[in-house]
Amino acid sequence: MGNADRVIRLLAALVVLVLYFTNVITGTLGVILLIVAAIFIVTGIIGFCPLYAPFGFNTLKKAQK
């Protein structure tokens, strides 16, 4: 996972957390988005997304020689 992908995931998770804890999003939608935010945080920190593997996605730039 590339750095841009990681930063976007972490920022999206941060936005969801702020919206949830300021009661902008609530209820079932809020809980679902919190779960997605948690997944984004974990995958952003470890730098691997299990959904990318089966589809062959790779956002990591290869080093130039």
Interval 8-38: pLDDT, tens: 999 999 999 999 999 999 999 999 999 999 9
Residue 56: predicted pLDDT = 81
Please indicate, yes or no, whether the overall pTM of this predicted structure exceeds 0.85.
no
32-51 mean pLDDT: 93
Q: Closest by alpha carbon to 40, among 2, 59, 19, 12?
A: 12
- Taking the C-alpha atoms of residue 51 and residue 56, their distance in angstroms, rounded to an integer, is 9
Residue 42 CA to residue 24 CA, distance in Å, equals 23
Is residue 16 within 8 Å of residue 36, measured between CB atoms?
A: yes
Cite the DSSP H helix spans in 1-65.
3-21, 27-46, 52-55
